[in-house]
């Protein structure tokens, strides 16, 4: 349980670049520690996506629940938000007033964030796009999300619905 707390504290501290990078980091941590296997983790991420609320928090709650029951769910969720909340308490006012030095600070974080996003794509691509159909869904989602303003929720639900339809015709 201590290990669960420490892991999620650490993940909360590096959670730059939005929810998906946190999910990528959670994956590395959880598979590395042998807490869950890949297919179980895949289910949890898919469920985290289709339940309301920030995906990263949902994923943390679900993983905590699987690893340590209800107590694990509470501890993982609180741990992952501890550093962000403390950081915004301690530094929030300061950062809002940094001015030009704030730009330097933000720019310094961007290369690392680029790395986190790239790592997340790399980690999820082989599992998510396991056959030509799911690869097509992934590519389609990229195209629509990168070049249009379509709501990501529609992409998530739409891809689920398409795969469901396909399972009737192809299976």
Residues 93-112 that bind another protein (CB under 8 A): 93, 95-96, 98, 100-112
CB of 152 to another protein, least distance (A): 5
Interface mask toward another protein for 57-86; x: CB under 8 A: xx--xx--xx---x--x---x---x-xxx-
The verdict on 9 binding another protein (CB under 8 A) reads no
Contact pick of 1, 3, 37, 163 for another protein (by CB under 8 A) = 163
Q: For another protein, which is the closer residue by CB, 1 or 136? A: 136
CB of 146 to another protein, least distance (A): 4
Are 84 and 9 contacting, i.e. CB atoms less than 8 angstroms apart?
no
Q: Which of residues 109-138 bind another protein (CB under 8 A)?
A: 109-125, 127-129, 134-135, 137-138
The verdict on 156 binding another protein (CB under 8 A) reads yes
Are 80 and 62 contacting, i.e. CB atoms less than 8 angstroms apart?
no
CB of 77 to another protein, least distance (A): 6
Whole-angstrom CA distances from 112 to 15, 21, 85, 118, 156 are: 11, 11, 21, 10, 27
Closest CA to 17 of 146, 121, 145, 143: 121
The verdict on 155 binding another protein (CB under 8 A) reads yes
CB of 59 to another protein, least distance (A): 10
Contact pick of 4, 5, 30, 45 for another protein (by CB under 8 A) = 45
The verdict on 30 binding another protein (CB under 8 A) reads no
């Amino acid at each position: 349980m201590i290990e669960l707390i420490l892991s999620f504290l650490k993940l909360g501290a590096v959670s730059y670049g939005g929810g998906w990078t946190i999910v990528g980091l959670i994956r590395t941590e959880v598979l590395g520690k042998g807490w869950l296997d890949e297919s179980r983790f895949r289910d949890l991420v898919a469920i985290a996506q289709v339940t309301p609320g920030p995906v990263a928090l949902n994923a943390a709650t679900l993983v905590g629940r699987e690893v340590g029951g209800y107590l694990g769910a509470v501890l993982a969720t609180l741990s992952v938000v501890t550093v962000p909340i403390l950081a915004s308490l301690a530094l929030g006012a300061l950062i809002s007033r940094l001015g030009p030095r704030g730009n330097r600070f933000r720019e310094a974080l961007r290369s690392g964030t680029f790395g986190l996003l790239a790592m997340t794509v790399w980690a999820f691509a082989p599992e998510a796009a396991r056959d030509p159909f799911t690869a097509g869904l992934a590519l389609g989602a990229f195209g629509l999300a990168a070049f249009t303003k379509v709501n990501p929720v529609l992409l998530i639900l739409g891809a689920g619905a398409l795969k469901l339809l396909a399972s009737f015709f192809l299976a």
